[in-house]
Amino acid sequence: MKKRLKLLLKILFTVAALWFVFEKIDLTKVKSALKEADAFWLFWALILFNLSKIASSLRLNIYFSSIGLKLSEGYNLILYYVGMFYNLFLPGGIGGDGYKVYLLNKHFKSGLKPLLQAVLLDRLSGLAALVLYASILFAASEYSKLYSWATTISILVAAVVFPIAYLATKILFKRFLSIFNTTMAWGLAVQLLQLASAWAILKSLGVESMQLEYLTLFLISSVAAVVPLTIGGVGVRELTFLYGLNFIGVDPTLGVTFSFLFFVITALSSLTGLFLINRVEPKKVGFEKS
Average pLDDT over residues 28-56: 96
Residue of 211, 224, 271, 277 lying closest to 50 (CA atoms): 271
Position with higher pLDDT, 47 vs 223: 47
Spell out a b/e string for 137-171, using b for 16 or more CB atoms within 10 Å of the CB, else e: bbbebebbeeeeeebeebeebbeebbeebeeebee
> Residue 206 pLDDT > 70, yes or no?
yes
- Comparing CA positions, the residue from 103, 1, 27 lying closest to residue 256 is 27
Cβ neighbour number for residue 254 with a 10 Å cutoff = 21
Phi (first) and psi of residue 251, to 5 degrees: -60, 120
pTM: 0.89
Tell me the pLDDT band of 213, cut-offs 50, 70 and 90.
Answer: very high
- Evaluate if residue 289 carries a pLDDT over 50: no
Mean pLDDT value of segment 32-43: 96
User: Is pLDDT above 60 for 92?
Assistant: no
Q: What pLDDT is stored for residue 23 in this prediction?
A: 86
pLDDT given for residue 290 in this prediction: 42
| Bridge partners of residue 287, in order along the sequence | 71
265: confidence class by pLDDT, cuts 50, 70, 90? very high
Nearest to 180 by CA among 190, 170, 193: 170
* Residue 78, pLDDT above cutoff 90: yes
Rounded average pLDDT over 90-114: 79
Cα gap 133→196, rounded to integer Å: 12
d(CA 94, CA 229): 16
For the stretch 196-207, what's the b/e string if a residue is b when 16 or more beta carbons lie within 10 angstroms of its beta carbon?
Answer: bbbbbbbbbbeb
Quote the pLDDT of residue 94.
Answer: 54
Q: Is the predicted pLDDT of residue 3 greater than 90, yes or no?
A: no
Mean pLDDT across 263-267: 94
Contacts 24+ apart (CB under 8 A), 227-230: 228/10, 229/10, 229/13, 230/10, 230/13, 230/14, 230/17
φ, ψ for residue 287 (rounded to 5)?
-155, 165
pLDDT of residue 284: 47
Q: Tell me what the mean pLDDT of segment 196-213 comes to.
A: 95
pLDDT reported for residue 230: 72
Sign of torsion, CA 211 134 232 193?
Answer: positive
pLDDT surpasses 70 at 283: no
In whole angstroms, what is the distance from residue 174 CA to residue 283 CA?
Answer: 31
pLDDT score at 233? 75
Quick check: 285 pLDDT over 50?
no
Is the pLDDT reported for residue 198 higher than 90?
yes
Contact 248, 26 (CB under 8 A): no
Specify the pLDDT at position 236: 87
Evaluate if residue 221 carries a pLDDT over 70. Answer: yes
pLDDT score, position 252:
93
244 touches 217 (CB < 8 A): yes
Q: By C-alpha distance, which of 12, 30, 91 is closest to 261? A: 30
Q: What is the mean pLDDT of the chain?
A: 89
